[in-house]
């Protein structure tokens, strides 16, 4: 359906572009308040230890220090993705559980004094045996990270449907592989930062680098035991999140507690090094998969065992594990499946959501295994996928309901690209450089239905100069949602994008919102904005109808004008209409309200993984071309193509930016990124040692649309940009497989791994 | 002990008292309120703090404030001419080269210095020139495009 939109589906610059390009945009670390103190956090040097005593006397006496807090100064609140299973104190209570765990907070008149004070805090530890590997952690008798968790199992998912054993017997081809993914970081350039200001009326105002500020709003009230409505969370600009800035952290808590103690505003900005070793990471996973297929490539059965290293705390790992298990074969039809997942506590930094949340790990495994199976069975990688993909109207055995679905078209288009690239490749291959092309597919959620709060809200106020204020509870962490939501409002109200002023989260004013995760903002908040704008339009249409002597239903809003549909000469300028509405004898206050969450979704039980997790799903196919230098082992991604179905794109330029960002980031994750630890100690906590893609790794990215129109998405839109992360890594690994005939089962695939594999291959050849 | 120094930043003279070990980044952000220059790593690894000193793109986190005396310092705040954006700023906005925006001031300053030296850089020259600036959001594709647009079309 090609609709005649003014703002939707266009290439429009982001509304915050100018303030970001001029350096005017304020991030949390840029904020200052009069009398402000600076905070620092003391962290555990041990992976596992009991705290016997903390002596803060010397630190407190240091001139310039205003307060020192430890776990004893807290109420003992423990955070966790499942509130009743919270296990993470913001400052350690009896034990520290990883190197970097927060032990004490200091506030001083400047950062240097605060830093010096950390050295003066005496902590007496009793070192405990640590466990840093998830498989050892599951052994009987392994040291327990948390006493309540036998064999260190933090969460378990046991998904089962169909008759797996019977189905395997009926298969023509069965294989089993073990895959591994490395721990990686979110990689945002802005470190965690928080500014808190407590006042004597008992109110806390908080500014922090939070991609989902309402998590902090709720947990702050609980952790400080103050009424929720006395916590005001204000969102500044956010320097990237990717899942790593959802939760409230000790930096946020310590700023607030220290402000409460001192009566002064307290700012804490952590270092990038602390971000790397002391905050969150993506779950590394060990994935055993057995797959069974019919001779024609039909997938019949799958059995998986997944061990995910959760690190020291629960975080939102229950959902991560559910996603790893439940989406392991999505978007393929699979009648028989068993997936057992264990999220395991270890004495390392906690794992949480990261772009693609859990799904990239297991989908990497399943997609690479599928290519190996296809090759051994003599089947084409695209054809085998086409044979198995879900279709609109289907319900997967674990309960995912497929509505709009462009996966088939995207694979067909992907095949055309693959064929074109294959033809081009033959021309320019030389001896030491081997080229390969690989494919990967994904299906992803547009806003997960989780237990608890799901609804997004929007409020719109119109000004008598024709300007529009839009407020939602959603946060733009860089993905462009402020712009996309403003486009939706401007489309409905027939005003220009620049007429909209987007008000960022302020929990005293903006509607409560779950947050920025799981591809939910455009889809769910977008609908709330659409409804709020329609509410305003209906109110104004009544006024216009009476002025223009027309039926409100016949009034059209377009290009800052409001006119009668079949007689456009009868019109009012939008600003005049607002004025008319407000200034008439018993004037109206025009205020629109909208709220929305998908109907009819069940809260999925993460233990069994059954239920429809999202109202709709995005789909796509990723193609990657690589060059492998067989002398150096170096791999270069030459180009990528992303053929996707995101419903109706709202802003094509921003959406491309999302896809390109995902592509190049994922190339780093496939080839370079890994947090390396020795006995729980991170040994590469810097951008220099932890390598992510730089501009030198950027390559051409073709973005191709095989879009559908989603029935319930705002203007037909769905998730874009996060889900594709799922397919990018396996597409690259499959391209390497195509190039040198080695299917790598561990990421990142490093030059050393390539050389070792090639050596082993040539040895085997020699033996024959 | 603090020491009095003079700095020339964005055409203005500042006389300030600093500690000798303070970096230019610290002084810009903490003492002068020029927070457009970002602190990403404070170790010379991410490029977010890039400014232009005597025509060269430099890392302000790796430069002592004392070393910056008698130099012409240009920060992101001084790049636009009043309300008129520098062409490189304009191109970053127009061509979608900005997402979260945290690396943006550093990217823009590095790009500006590059374009001053090489008005029509090749893709390889752009990549080399910006290889010290990390961005996690954009995948760099649109950043390269924005720099190219300035050099070929002179976006204003």
Q: Measured between beta carbons, which residues in chain B are less than 8 angstroms from residue A26?
A: 35
Closest in B40, B126, B128 to A190, CB measured: B40
Q: Considering the domain A31-128+190-239+245-278 in this protein, what is its CATH number?
A: 3.90.1170.50
Residue A394 has pLDDT above 50, yes or no: yes
**Alpha-carbon span A360 to A666, nearest angstrom:** 10
Given a contact cutoff of 8 angstroms between Cβ atoms, the answer to whether B65 and B51 are in contact is: no
How many CB pairs below 8 A link A and B? 174
* Domain locations in chain B as residue ranges: 3-78, 87-153
| Residue B120 to chain A, least CA–CA distance (Å) | 18
Residue B13 sits at φ, ψ, to 5 deg, of -95, 135
pLDDT in tens, A705-753: 999 999 999 999 999 999 999 999 999 999 999 999 999 999 999 999 9
Q: Is the minimum CB–CB distance between B3 and chain A shorter than 8 Å?
A: no
| Residue B70 to chain A, least CA–CA distance (Å) | 24
* Residues listed for chain A: 768
pLDDT in tens, A464-493: 999 999 999 999 999 999 999 999 999 999
Q: Is the minimum CB–CB distance between B136 and chain A shorter than 8 Å?
A: yes
Which of A18-27, A36-45, A428-437 is the least confident region?
A428-437
**Alpha-carbon span A180 to A500, nearest angstrom:** 47
Q: Measured between beta carbons, which residues in chain B are less than 8 angstroms from residue A479?
A: 99, 137
| Residue A476 to chain B, least CA–CA distance (Å) | 8
Average confidence (pLDDT) over A183-208: 97
With CB atoms and an 8 Å threshold, state whether B42 touches A187: no
Q: Measured between beta carbons, which residues in chain B are less than 8 angstroms from residue A688?
A: 43, 45
pLDDT in tens, B88-130: 999 999 999 999 999 999 999 999 999 999 999 999 999 999 9
With CB atoms and an 8 Å threshold, state whether B100 touches A238: yes
Given a contact cutoff of 8 angstroms between Cβ atoms, the answer to whether A184 and A348 are in contact is: no
**Alpha-carbon span A300 to A168, nearest angstrom:** 7
With CB atoms and an 8 Å threshold, state whether A22 touches B85: yes
Place of tokens 């939102």: A316
In B, minimum Cα distance to A275 occurs at B41
In A, minimum Cα distance to B143 occurs at A695
Q: Is the minimum CB–CB distance between B89 and chain A shorter than 8 Å?
A: yes
Residues of chain B predicted below pLDDT 70? 155-156
Q: Is the minimum CB–CB distance between B116 and chain A shorter than 8 Å?
A: no
In A, minimum Cα distance to B144 occurs at A695
Residue A694 has pLDDT above 50, yes or no: yes
**Alpha-carbon span A195 to A216, nearest angstrom:** 13
**What pLDDT is stored for residue B83 in this prediction?**
87
Read off the pLDDT band of A618 (50, 70, 90). Answer: very high
Fold classification of A17-24+455-596 (topology level): Aldehyde Oxidoreductase; domain 4 (3.30.365)
Q: Measured between beta carbons, which residues in chain B are less than 8 angstroms from residue A656?
A: 96, 142
| Residue B88 to chain A, least CA–CA distance (Å) | 9
In A, minimum Cα distance to B80 occurs at A22
DSSP character string of B31-56: IT--TTS--S-SSSSS-TTEEEETTE
Q: Measured between beta carbons, which residues in chain B are less than 8 angstroms from residue A237?
A: 100-101
**What pLDDT is stored for residue A428 in this prediction?**
53
Closest in B37, B100, B130 to A695, CB measured: B130
Cα R_g (chain B), whole angstroms: 15
Write out the CATH class of domain A281-390+401-448+603-767. alpha beta
**What pLDDT is stored for residue A1 in this prediction?**
46
| Residue B6 to chain A, least CA–CA distance (Å) | 23
Q: Is the minimum CB–CB distance between B137 and chain A shorter than 8 Å?
A: yes
Q: Which of A276, A304, A299 is nearest to A172 (CA)?
A: A299
Given a contact cutoff of 8 angstroms between Cβ atoms, the answer to whether A595 and A422 are in contact is: no
Q: Measured between beta carbons, which residues in chain A are less than 8 angstroms from residue B90?
A: 21
Give the H/E segment covering residue A221. helix A213-224
In A, minimum Cα distance to B126 occurs at A695
Q: Is B59 exposed, middle or buried (0-12, 13-18, 19+ CB in 10 A)?
A: buried
In A, minimum Cα distance to B36 occurs at A23
In A, minimum Cα distance to B88 occurs at A21
Q: What is the mean pLDDT of chain A?
A: 96
**What pLDDT is stored for residue B155 in this prediction?**
55
To the nearest 10 degrees (0 to 180), the angle between helices B141-153 and B104-117 is 40
| Residue A662 to chain B, least CA–CA distance (Å) | 7
With CB atoms and an 8 Å threshold, state whether B99 touches A687: no
Q: Is the minimum CB–CB distance between B37 and chain A shorter than 8 Å?
A: yes
Q: Testing the interface with A: which of B99, B130, B146, B149 to mutate, by most A Cβ within 10 A?
A: B99
Count CA atoms closer than 13 A to A251's CA, side-chain side: 25
Q: What is the mean pLDDT of chain B?
A: 96
With CB atoms and an 8 Å threshold, state whether A189 touches B42: no
Q: Measured between beta carbons, which residues in chain B are less than 8 angstroms from residue A238?
A: 100
Q: Measured between beta carbons, which residues in chain B are less than 8 angstroms from residue A240?
A: 99-100, 102, 136-137
Q: Which of A335, A691, A19 is nearest to B93 (CA)?
A: A19
Q: Measured between beta carbons, which residues in chain A are less than 8 angstroms from residue B133?
A: 695
Closest in A30, A271, A661 to B138, CB measured: A661
Q: Measured between beta carbons, which residues in chain B are less than 8 angstroms from residue A28?
A: none
| Residue B15 to chain A, least CA–CA distance (Å) | 21
Fold classification of B3-78 (topology level): Ubiquitin-like (UB roll) (3.10.20)
* Topology agreement, domain A17-24+455-596 and domain A281-390+401-448+603-767: yes
Read off the pLDDT band of A768 (50, 70, 90). Answer: low
3-state secondary structure at position A206: strand
Q: Which of A312, A311, A280, A278 is nearest to A100 (CA)?
A: A278
Q: Quick one: what percent of chain A has pLDDT higher than 70?
A: 99
| Residue A428 to chain B, least CA–CA distance (Å) | 21
Residue A516 sits at φ, ψ, to 5 deg, of -100, 95
pLDDT in tens, A160-192: 999 999 999 999 999 999 999 999 999 999 999
Residue A173 sits at φ, ψ, to 5 deg, of -145, 130
Read off the pLDDT band of A424 (50, 70, 90). Answer: confident
**B:49-88 residues touching chain A, CB 8 A cutoff:** 75-77, 79-80, 85
**Alpha-carbon span B88 to B74, nearest angstrom:** 15
* Domain locations in chain A as residue ranges: 17-24+455-596, 31-128+190-239+245-278, 281-390+401-448+603-767
Q: Which of A751, A664, A730 is nearest to A699 (CA)?
A: A664
Q: Measured between beta carbons, which residues in chain A are less than 8 angstroms from residue B41?
A: 189, 271-273, 686-687
Given a contact cutoff of 8 angstroms between Cβ atoms, the answer to whether A61 and A113 are in contact is: no
In B, minimum Cα distance to A639 occurs at B141
Read off the pLDDT band of A645 (50, 70, 90). Answer: very high
With CB atoms and an 8 Å threshold, state whether B101 touches A271: no
Given a contact cutoff of 8 angstroms between Cβ atoms, the answer to whether A117 and A106 are in contact is: yes
| Residue A202 to chain B, least CA–CA distance (Å) | 29
Closest in A16, A17, A188 to B136, CB measured: A188
With CB atoms and an 8 Å threshold, state whether B46 touches A189: yes
Place of tokens 């699979």: A334
With CB atoms and an 8 Å threshold, state whether B139 touches A26: no
Fold classification of B87-153 (topology level): DNA polymerase; domain 1 (1.10.150)
Under DSSP, the state recorded for B29 is: I
pLDDT in tens, A123-135: 999 999 999 999 9
Read off the pLDDT band of A764 (50, 70, 90). Answer: confident
With CB atoms and an 8 Å threshold, state whether A269 touches B92: no
Given a contact cutoff of 8 angstroms between Cβ atoms, the answer to whether A101 and A78 are in contact is: no
Residue A3 has pLDDT above 80, yes or no: no
With CB atoms and an 8 Å threshold, state whether A695 touches B135: yes
Q: Measured between beta carbons, which residues in chain B are less than 8 angstroms from residue A13?
A: 93-94, 96
Q: Is the minimum CB–CB distance between B12 and chain A shorter than 8 Å?
A: no
């Amino acid at each position: 359906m090609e609709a005649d939109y003014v703002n939707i589906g266009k290439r429009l610059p982001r509304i915050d572009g100018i303030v970001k390009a001029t350096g005017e945009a304020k991030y949390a670390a840029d904020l200052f308040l009069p009398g402000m103190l600076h905070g620092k956090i003391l962290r555990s040097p041990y992976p596992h230890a009991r705290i016997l005593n903390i002596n803060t006397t010397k630190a407190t006496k240091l001139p310039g220090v205003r307060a020192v807090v430890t776990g004893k100064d807290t109420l003992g609140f423990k955070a966790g993705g499942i509130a009743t299973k919270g296990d993470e104190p913001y400052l350690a209570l009896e034990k520290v559980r990883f190197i970097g765990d927060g032990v004490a907070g200091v506030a001083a008149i400047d950062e240097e004094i605060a830093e010096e004070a950390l050295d003066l805090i005496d902590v007496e530890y009793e070192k405990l045996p640590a466990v840093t590997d998830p498989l050892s952690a599951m052994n009987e008798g392994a040291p327990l990270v948390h006493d309540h968790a036998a064999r260190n199992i933090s969460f378990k998912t046991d998904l089962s449907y169909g008759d797996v054993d019977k189905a395997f017997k009926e298969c023509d081809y069965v294989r089993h592989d073990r895959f591994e993914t490395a721990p990686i970081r979110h990689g945002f350039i802005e470190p965690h930062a928080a500014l808190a200001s407590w006042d004597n009326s008992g109110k806390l105002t908080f500014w922090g680098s939070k991609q989902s500020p309402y998590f902090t709003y709720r947990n702050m009230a609980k952790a400080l035991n103050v009424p929720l409505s006395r916590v005001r969370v204000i969102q500044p600009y956010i320097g990237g999140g990717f899942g790593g800035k959802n939760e409230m952290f000790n930096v946020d808590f310590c700023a607030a507690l220290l402000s409460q103690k001192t009566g002064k505003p307290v700012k804490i900005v952590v270092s990038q090094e602390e971000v790397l070793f002391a905050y969150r990471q993506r779950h590394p996973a060990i994935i055993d998969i057995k797959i069974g297929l019919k001779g024609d490539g039909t997938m019949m059965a799958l059995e998986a065992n997944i061990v995910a290293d959760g690190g020291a705390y629960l975080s939102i790992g229950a959902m991560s594990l559910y996603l790893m298990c439940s989406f392991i074969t999505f978007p393929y039809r699979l009648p028989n499946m068993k997936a057992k997942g264990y999220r395991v506590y270890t004495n390392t930094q906690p794992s949480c959501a990261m772009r693609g949340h859990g799904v990239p790990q297991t989908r990497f495994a399943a997609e690479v295994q599928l290519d190996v199976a296809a090759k051994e069975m003599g089947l084409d990688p695209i054809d085998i996928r086409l044979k198995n993909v879900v279709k609109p109207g289907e319900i997967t055995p674990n309960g995912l309901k497929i509505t709009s679905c462009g996966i088939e078209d995207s694979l067909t288009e992907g095949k055309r690209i693959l064929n074109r690239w294959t033809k081009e490749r033959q021309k320019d291959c030389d001896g030491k450089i081997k080229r390969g092309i690989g494919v990967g597919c994904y299906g992803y959620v547009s806003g997960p239905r989780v237990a608890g709060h799901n609804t997004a809200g929007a409020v719109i106020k119109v000004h008598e100069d024709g300007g529009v204020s839009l407020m939602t509870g959603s946060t733009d962490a860089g993905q462009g949602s402020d712009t996309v939501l403003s486009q939706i409002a401007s489309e409905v109200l027939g005003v220009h994008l620049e007429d909209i002023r987007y008000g960022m989260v302020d929990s005293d004013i903006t509607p409560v919102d779950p947050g920025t995760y799981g591809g939910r903002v455009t889809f769910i908040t977008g609908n709330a904005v659409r409804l709020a704008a329609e509410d305003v339009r209906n109110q104004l249409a009544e006024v216009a109808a009476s002025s223009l002597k027309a039926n409100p239903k016949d009034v059209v809003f377009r290009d800052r004008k409001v006119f009668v549909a079949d007689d456009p000469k009868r019109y009012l300028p939008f600003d005049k209409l607002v004025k008319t509405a407000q200034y008439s004898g018993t004037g109206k206050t025009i205020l629109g309200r909208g709220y929305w969450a998908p109907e009819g979704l069940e809260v999925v039980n993460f233990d069994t993984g059954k239920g429809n997790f999202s109202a709709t799903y995005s789909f796509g196919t990723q193609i990657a071309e690589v060059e492998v230098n067989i002398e150096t082992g170096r791999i270069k991604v030459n180009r990528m193509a992303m053929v996707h179905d995101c419903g109706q794109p709202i802003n094509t330029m921003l959406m491309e930016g999302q896809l390109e960002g995902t592509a190049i980031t994922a190339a780093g994750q496939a080839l370079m990124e890994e947090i390396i630890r020795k006995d729980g100690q991170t040994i590469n906590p810097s951008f220099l040692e932890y390598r992510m893609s730089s501009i030198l790794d950027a390559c051409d990215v073709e973005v191709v649309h095989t879009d559908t129109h989603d029935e319930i998405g705002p203007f037909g839109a769905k998730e874009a940009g996060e889900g594709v992360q799922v397919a990018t890594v396996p597409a690259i690994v499959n391209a390497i497989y195509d190039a040198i005939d080695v299917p790598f089962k561990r990421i990142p695939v490093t030059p050393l791994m390539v050389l070792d594999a090639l050596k082993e291959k040539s040895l085997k050849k020699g033996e024959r | 002990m603090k020491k009095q120094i003079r700095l020339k930043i964005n055409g203005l003279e500042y006389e300030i008292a600093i500690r000798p070990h303070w970096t230019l980044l610290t002084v810009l952000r903490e003492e002068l309120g020029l927070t457009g220059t970002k602190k990403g790593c404070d170790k010379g690894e991410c490029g977010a703090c890039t400014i232009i000193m005597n025509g060269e793109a430099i890392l302000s986190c790796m430069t002592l404030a004392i070393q910056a005396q008698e130099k012409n310092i240009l920060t992101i705040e001084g790049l636009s001419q009043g309300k008129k954006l520098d062409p490189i700023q304009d191109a970053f906005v127009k061509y979608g080269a900005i997402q979260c925006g945290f690396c943006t001031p550093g990217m823009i300053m590095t790009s500006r210095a590059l374009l001053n030296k090489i008005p029509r850089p090749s893709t390889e020259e752009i990549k080399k020139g910006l290889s010290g600036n990390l961005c996690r959001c954009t995948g760099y594709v649109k950043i390269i495009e924005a720099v190219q647009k300035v050099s070929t079309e002179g976006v204003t």
